């Protein structure tokens, strides 16, 4: 069989088909909810992508906007025979028209019977947040520190911000009242374990208990030391949730499953980025991405015969989740909860707020 183009420069190949059959098909539930995916209309870009921007961060090089139609096509290729739904949102990047990006994501999600989060502009008043939550299909918001202000030189100008600088209290009050969903990408170079993050996450939970708070990417804890520093501090709050998107590291999945339990974890891909092929390596508190394409970040190439066996990052992430669940004796019911049941329950709880 021929390879199928996915999005950007990535294809679905024989290697992926074999990987799916060997490592994933046997245990992955029939229904899946991917609760962390970015869809975007490329025509909503306000500032052109430049080579300089591509060089700033590996993710910038591989996050070309993906339409909902392309996502649907990729679902069919990467999850053969599975029913896939999404909780989707735009790209949190001020190089795009954010208001129009929210309209696009919302419209597409309604059309596909998915749900959407609106990118939260930190300048919005409480009334503006309420207006956004009134729109069909919108169950909450996706705040992000890069939405504080545009800096063409770096996406991390505001990485050391307080969470409340990009998820302000006036927004949280409305989100709490409306029992909305918040997928929170935490700031700080030190990631979730930074004492400010731990303190602020606890403050949100204490002051705004009506919010369904989902910490994205396990709090950006992609390495074992980061996970060990952060997870124990948030172990006891049974109503605090995490998405496991963008995490390929089996050790991190293991720590998360042992610390939080499968009931507090929802599946996410963080696509389109994770259609990338290759492997991730971890040394201490750093990770290195390797792929088979000629990209700026891809400095540590492996021999061609090794690169030829690369599969999609999203498949590597799935294998890590699957093998960790197996090791820990997490049965099919709990696996189903991670991939579908938990998100479904939370979406239902959030959507029921108006009834
Ligand atoms: Zn994301």
Residue 267, domain CATH: 3.20.20.140
Q: How confident is the model over 88-135, as pLDDT tens digits?
A: 999 999 999 999 999 999 999 999 999 999 999 999 999 999 999 999
Quick check: 229 and 262 in contact, CB under 8 A?
A: no
**DSSP-derived pairing of the beta strands 265-266 and 31-38:** unpaired
Q: What is the CA(36)–ligand 1 centre distance, in A? A: 6
Q: Determine the pLDDT at residue 153.
A: 82
With cut-offs at 50, 70 and 90, classify the pLDDT of residue 53: confident
pLDDT at 354 over 70: no
Q: How far apart are CA 141 and CA 309, in angstroms?
A: 38
pLDDT at 154 over 90: no
Q: Determine the pLDDT at residue 156.
A: 84
Q: How confident is the model over 262-313, as pLDDT tens digits?
A: 999 999 999 999 999 999 999 999 999 999 988 888 888 999 999 999 999 9
Q: Which residue has the higher pLDDT, 255 or 152?
A: 255
The whole-angstrom distance between residue 122's C-alpha and the CA centroid of its chain comes to 20
Q: How far apart are CA 288 and CA 300, in angstroms?
A: 8
* Beta sheet of 115-119, edge-to-edge order: 31-38, 83-89, 115-119, 138-142, 181-184, 212-215, 241-243, 265-266
- Backbone phi, then psi, for 141, in 5-degree steps? -135, 160
The whole-angstrom distance between residue 80's C-alpha and the CA centroid of its chain comes to 21
Q: For residue 25, count other CB atoms closer than 10 A to its CB.
A: 14
Instruction: State the residue range of the domain holding 162.
Output: 4-354
Q: What is the CA(37)–ligand 1 centre distance, in A? A: 6
Q: What is the CA(63)–ligand 1 centre distance, in A? A: 10
Q: Determine the pLDDT at residue 182.
A: 98
Q: For residue 316, count other CB atoms closer than 10 A to its CB.
A: 21
With cut-offs at 50, 70 and 90, classify the pLDDT of residue 64: confident
Q: What is the CA(242)–ligand 1 centre distance, in A? A: 13
Mean pLDDT of 217-244: 98
Q: What is the CA(271)–ligand 1 centre distance, in A? A: 7
In the structure encoding, which two tokens stand for residue 217, read together? 């990417």
Q: Determine the pLDDT at residue 56.
A: 81
Q: What is the CA(146)–ligand 1 centre distance, in A? A: 12
Q: What is the CA(245)–ligand 1 centre distance, in A? A: 8
Specify the residue for token string 């990417």. Answer: 217
Q: What is the CA(71)–ligand 1 centre distance, in A? A: 14
Q: What is the CA(38)–ligand 1 centre distance, in A? A: 6
Q: Determine the pLDDT at residue 129.
A: 98
Q: What is the CA(324)–ligand 1 centre distance, in A? A: 23
Q: What is the CA(246)–ligand 1 centre distance, in A? A: 8
Mean pLDDT of 191-206: 98
- Average pLDDT of the chain is 95
In the structure encoding, which two tokens stand for residue 105, read together? 């994501």
Domain count for the chain: 1
């Amino acid at each position: 069989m021929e390879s199928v183009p996915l999005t950007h420069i990535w294809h679905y190949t024989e290697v992926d088909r074999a990987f799916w059959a060997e490592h994933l098909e046997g245990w992955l539930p029939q229904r899946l909810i991917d609760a962390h995916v970015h869809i975007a209309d490329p025509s909503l870009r306000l500032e052109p992508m430049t080579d300089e921007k591509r060089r700033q961060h590996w993710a910038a090089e591989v996050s070309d906007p993906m339409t909902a139609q392309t996502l649907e096509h990729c679902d069919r290729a990467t999850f053969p025979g599975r029913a896939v739904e999404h909780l989707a949102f735009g790209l949190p990047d001020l190089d795009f028209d954010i208001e129009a990006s929210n309209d696009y994501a919302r419209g597409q999600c309604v059309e596909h019977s998915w749900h959407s989060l609106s990118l939260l502009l930190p300048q919005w008043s409480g009334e503006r947040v309420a207006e956004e939550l009134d729109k069909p299909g919108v169950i909450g918001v996706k705040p992000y520190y890069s939405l504080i202000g545009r800096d063409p030189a770096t996406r991390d100008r505001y990485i050391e911000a307080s969470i409340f600088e990009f998820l302000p209290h006036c927004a949280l009050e409305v989100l709490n009242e409306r029992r909305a969903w918040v997928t929170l990408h935490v700031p700080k170079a030190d990631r979730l374990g930074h004492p400010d993050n731990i303190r602020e996450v606890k403050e949100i939970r204490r002051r705004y208990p009506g919010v369904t708070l989902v910490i994205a990417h396990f709090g950006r804890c992609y390495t074992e030391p980061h996970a060990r520093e952060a997870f124990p501090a948030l172990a006891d709050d049974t109503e605090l949730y995490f998405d496991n998107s963008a995490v390929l590291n089996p050790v991190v999945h293991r720590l998360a499953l042992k610390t939080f339990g499968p009931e507090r974890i929802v599946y996410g891909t963080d696509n389109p980025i994770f259609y990338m092929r290759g492997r991730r390596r971890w040394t201490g508190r750093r990770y290195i991405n390797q792929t088979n394409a000629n990209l700026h970040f891809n400095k540590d190439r492996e021999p061609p015969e090794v690169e030829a066996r690369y599969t999609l990052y999203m498949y590597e992430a799935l294998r890590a989740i699957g093998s960790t669940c197996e090791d820990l004796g997490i049965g099919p019911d709990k696996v189903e909860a991670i991939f579908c049941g938990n998100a479904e329950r939370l979406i239902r709880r959030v959507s029921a707020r108006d009834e």
